[in-house]
Structure 1
Amino acid sequence: MKQHISTRPDSADGLPVPQRYFAILTVILGLTISVLDGAIANVALPTIAVDLQASAAKSIWIVNAYQIAIVTSLLSLSFIGDMIGYRRVYQYGLVLFTCTSLFCALSTSLEMLTLARVLQGLGGAALMSVNTALIRLIWPQRLLGAGMGINSFVVAVSSAAGPTLAAAVLSVASWKWLFLINIPVGIVALILAVKYLPANPPSAIRPRFDIPSALMNALTFGLLVIALSSFAQGQSWTIVGAELAALLIIGTLFVRRQLTMPVPLLPVDLLRIPVFALSMCTSVCSFTAQMLALVALPFYLQGALGRSEVEAGLLLTPWPLATMVMAPLAGLLIGRIHGGLLGSAGMSIMAVGLFALAMLPASPTDGDIIWRMALCGAGFGLFQSPNNHTIVSSAPPHRSGGASGMLGTARLLGQSAGAALVALLFNLFTTNGSHYCLLLAGGFALTAVVVSGLRATRHVARP
């Protein structure tokens, strides 16, 4: 009798064991390589610039190309996931990401590598756009919180390991190996994805892909990231103003078009769900706070405190380590404590840590810095898993792709805004810029506390 593993999840119980574990491993592998590639390139930029004979300013496009490709395509790919299935989008993403990793490694010029990074970003966006939607199908409903905790754990580990892994690889091999290591991981993940990932549950709603909406979506979010980048790099106000004007015009037309669509690409229908909208706002605030701190702290540790690059890296490590520990534990609390209260508690802890960092003594010990970093990371870990769970579970099942795409978009927008605000504050305050960045980060964390607390009066609508 022929053995066959079902790829259709039960709507209440997720996938059976052991298929569930292999499906989880598939999502973990894809998420790991896509997050890692966003982190390792930053460390390798000076080496790549020298090898490809490019200026430091131009080499920034190696990072920007990847980021812009993701943010401009994330919602379109999540919408396609709702149409043709999250499994198929994920598989295509793995194929594209793996092939373009080889393209990156074989690049011999900055232009060639930039193009490869754009294509790799599209593959990474396919993986990020549907990963939480797949988690909703893979895990039983009663264990979905634990699944979100593992997802947050993987993101934290990958982000933390990125600089260390890049430094380790560059110490023994060429920068090309930063991309070549993706290939065997991608192949294994693809084999597992073909065999174990679940299909979308049957749905009476068949969304139609609207090409003008996709183009306006790409222009809107692309212009937003480019405008923030231009502002951060000190471009003239004429250029920044023109980009913002184009963003305002195209963005307005885009939103107005979405309001007329039965199933919009930009999920304005989901934003009408109060719990979803509040969770999205909380997510943007939290990632803005995190990026403000994590970009400013290395300058503070090395510039103001005179620590070396290695010492600064080690002193930053307690933040992601605490997130790694707390995220799975927070996942276990989902369903026992209201997500809004968990989110408020987590961001309150993070705010205390940020303000404590801003008030460090003039000559702090390592211990003074470490416990504050750990407090920030623990607070963020306590917040992230319940917030992600609320975003995904508050959307109807057939709109899980849209919810997953919005989750990734909120993260990217918060990170982009945080990086731009660091540049602004460094220009305004030439001597104490890092201090004001930490204070502003604490302010965003407190805003997230308030917005998250508003969710405690709301109930997640069960479709």
Structure 2
Amino acid sequence: MPKRLWAILTIGLGLTLAVLDGGIANVALPTIARDVHTSPANSIWVVNAYQLAVTVSLLPLSSLGEIYGYKRVYMGGLVLFTLASLASAISTSLPTLIIGRMLQGFGAAGLMSVNSALVRFIYPRRWLGRGVGLNATVGSIASALGPTVASGILSVAPWPWLFAVNVPLGVLGAAIAMRALPETPRSGARFDLVSAGLQAVTFGALLFGVSELGHGDSWARVVLELGAAAVCGFLLVTRQMSRTAPMLPVDLLRIPLFALSVASSISSFIAQAMGQVSMPFLFQHRFGLDQVMTGFLMTPWPLIVAVIAPFTGRLADRYPAGLLGGIGMAVMASGLFAMAMLPAHPGTFDIVWRMCLCGLGFGFFNTPNNRAMITSAPPMRTGGASGMQATARLLGQSTGAAMVALVFTAFPTEGPVAALFIAAGAAAVAACISSSRLAAN
């Protein structure tokens, strides 16, 4: 038990650092743009470089975890993340900062790609739902605290300290991980470099194409990028079909419970991203609220997820994920629909109870769904399942954000409300997919 607690601590610390740095720089982008003498549009690459690096490297790193051990990949990711944080902190130009952030993203991918796989070897099976629930709690709290932590640091120090604070925490986490994390079985397979390249181009081109489609960029460029993603994706899937331990876990997608869990995860995160991206515009543009009040009203969603995640983790050890996830997504769809139907002059309570409903529904879905993805895979393919879990989340979030931009372009005045209606529909689809797992068990 003492060693398990230290292992849980370092896993939680690494996850917190990876999730926080996904959005901690957002608050400081105007200041960063001014200090490095660049435009606001160019400064967004400080955020995009991190997200892109994470997305394209998750599955290759999860494959490396199966080959060389999850502990090694986690340790390598934590060390790289710490050094890249130092490089980002001392950057004095936009190109060097973007390189530092991209390296941070690769390090964060090392942490997130094997995070759930390590949980499977830290906890006994009868407690696995609790472990996944604790992970969800840590991730939700880190996500909720991101803007608050950034504002607190910026109130007493310049923006480089957003990255410098990671250095001592990363060193501490690496020291604990070295002694506490378990050694895991190794597959003995060889790393597929060609598949890694095809996977990077597939997901990178897909995310660029969807993002530019949402922002109304050149149709020729969008078609070229989406075409490249389709061709490379086809070649990737064809190549993976003949492999016993493929990097893109097409073998796991043959397992009905795993495939349905991935599909419901993507749909749920599309709904979550569309809701959380469009709500600030609804609060500020339609209701005339300021940024501080907007942040306060956005807090109940992740807060409720964090509070109930341990509870749903225990339920996930006893009840099917299809039942809990179906109920959760139905509740979330109701909350999003209720948000879209807000009156012209809502009170604080009118908004808060709807946000709580969204958080309650997502909390009931997320932990059981993550547990189902991990446990439905064979033990030797836990790394692939863990990487696919994180990839499904990022793919859903990126697609949802791009869809909001597309909806805002199509409906200039009613964009936030239209996006919330579509988000409710995506959550309803996730509820149907999740419920269908009851027949797959």
Q: Which of the five TM-score ranges fits, normalised by the shorter chain? A: over 0.9
State the match for 2:306 in structure 1. Answer: 324
- Alignment of 1:268 onto 2:273: no
Secondary structure at 2:96 match in 1: helix
Match of 2:69 in 1: 85
Return the offset for 1:233.
2.7
1:254 equivalent in structure 2: 236
Q: Structure 1 residue 246: deviation in Å?
A: 1.1
Displacement, 1:424? 0.5
What is the CA distance between 1:257 and its match in structure 2? 0.7
Matched, 1:413 2:395: yes
Q: Which amino acid aligns with 2:298?
A: L
Shift of 1:275: 0.2
* 1:447 pairs with one of 422, 426, 429: 429
Aligned equivalents of 1:311 and 1:105: distance in 2?
A: 30
- In the other structure, the counterpart of 1:215 is 197
CA offsets, 1:131-169, max 9 Å, x none? 000000001111000001001001100000001111111
**Is the Cα–Cα contact under 8 Å of residues 331 and 360 in structure 2 kept in the other structure?**
yes
Per-residue CA deviation, residues 51-102 of structure 1 (Å, 9 max, x unaligned), is 1111011111111111111111100000000000000100011100000000
1:240 aligned partner: 222
Matches within 5 A, 1:113-132: 113-132=97-116
Using the TM superposition, give the Cα deviation of residue 244 of structure 1 relative to its aligned residue in structure 2, in angstroms.
1.0
- Deviation of 1:232 after TM superposition, in Å, equals 2.7
Separation in 1 of the partners of 2:177 and 2:26?
29
Map residues 12-161 of structure 1 onto 2, 5 A cutoff: 17-161=1-145
**Distance across 2 between alignment mates of 1:61 and 1:133:** 30
- State the Cα distance separating 1:171 from its structure 2 match: 1.4
Q: Does the CA-based 8 Å contact 2:215-2:406 persist in structure 1?
A: no
Q: Tell me by how many angstroms 1:254 deviates.
A: 1.0
Could you tell me how far apart the structure 2 residues matched to 1:69 and 1:330 are?
31
Cα drift, residue 337 of structure 1: 1.5
Which consecutive residues of structure 2, in runs of 5 or more, have no partner in the other structure?
none
Summarize deviations over 1:414-444 as a string: whole Å, max 9, x none. 0000001000100000111000110000000
Q: Which residue of 2 aligns with 1:285?
A: 267
Q: Distance in 1 between matches of 2:245 and 2:353?
A: 47
Task: Tell me the SS of whatever aligns to 1:268.
Answer: coil
Deviation per residue, 1:152-198 (Å, 9 max, x gap): 00110000000111111111110101001111111111001000000
CA contact (8 A) 1:325 1:378 kept: no
Question: 2:409 — aligned with what?
Answer: 427
| Separation of aligned partners in 1, 2:41 and 2:264 | 33
1:179 maps to 163
- The answer to whether residue 258 in structure 2 is matched with residue 294 in structure 1 is no
Instruction: Give the CA deviation at 1:282.
Output: 0.4
Q: Aligned AA for 1:285?
A: S
Q: Could you tell me whether the CA contact under 8 Å between 1:105 and 1:180 is conserved in 2?
A: yes
Q: CA deviation at 1:378?
A: 1.0
Equivalent residue, structure 2, for 1:10: none
How many angstroms apart in 1 are the aligned matches of 2:400 and 2:308? 23
Where does structure 1 differ by over 6 angstroms across 4 or more consecutive aligned residues? none
For residues 318 and 235 of structure 2, what CA distance do their matches in structure 1 show? 43
Aligned residue type for 1:425: V
Secondary structure at the aligned position of 1:113 is classed as: helix
Q: Give SS of 2:343's match.
A: coil
Which residue does the alignment assign to 1:13? none
Q: In the alignment, which of 190, 193, 200 is matched to residue 184 of structure 2?
A: 200
1:369 aligns with 2:369: no
Equivalent pair of 1:344/1:453 in contact (CA under 8 Å) = yes
The TM-score with structure 2 as length reference comes to 0.99
> Is the 2:23–2:47 contact (alpha carbons within 8 Å) kept by the matching residues of 1?
no
Verify: 1:164 aligned to 2:148, yes or no: yes
Cα separation, 1, equivalents of 2:338 and 2:214: 26
Supply the distance in 2 between the matched residues of 1:335 and 1:384 (Cα, whole angstroms): 14
Task: Find the residue that maps to 2:385 and give its secondary structure.
Answer: helix
Preserved CA contact (<8 Å) 1:34 1:127:
yes
Matched position secondary structure for 1:262: coil
> Does the 8 Å CA contact 1:156/1:323 hold for their aligned counterparts?
yes
Alignment deviations for residues 265-321 of structure 1 (CA, whole Å, 9 cap, x no partner): 101000000000000000000000000000000000000000000001001111111
Alignment deviations for residues 369-424 of structure 1 (CA, whole Å, 9 cap, x no partner) = 00000110111011100000000000010111000000000000000000010001
Percent same amino acid among aligned pairs? 53
Partner of 2:382: 400
- Conservation of the 8 A alpha-carbon contact between 2:128 and 2:317: no
* Alpha-carbon distance in structure 1 between the residues aligned to 2:137 and 2:396: 19
Deviation at 1:335, TM superposition (A): 2.6
- How many residues are treated as equivalent by the alignment? 441
Report the alpha carbon displacement of residue 262 of structure 1 after superposing the two structures with TM: 2.0
CA contact (8 A) 1:301 1:307 kept: yes
Q: What one-letter code is carried by the residue in structure 1 that aligns with 2:290?
A: S
Cα deviation, residue 43, structure 1: 1.4
State how far apart, in whole Å, the 2-side matches of 1:195 and 1:266 are: 31
SS of residue in 1 equivalent to 2:115: helix
> Distance in 1 between the 2:151 and 2:180 partners?
34
Whole-angstrom distance in 2 between the partners of 1:458 and 1:166: 44
Farther off after superposition, 341-350 or 38-47: 38-47
State the SS of the aligned residue for 1:190: helix
**Which amino acid in the other structure matches residue 434 of structure 1?**
P
SS of 1:108's equivalent?
Answer: coil
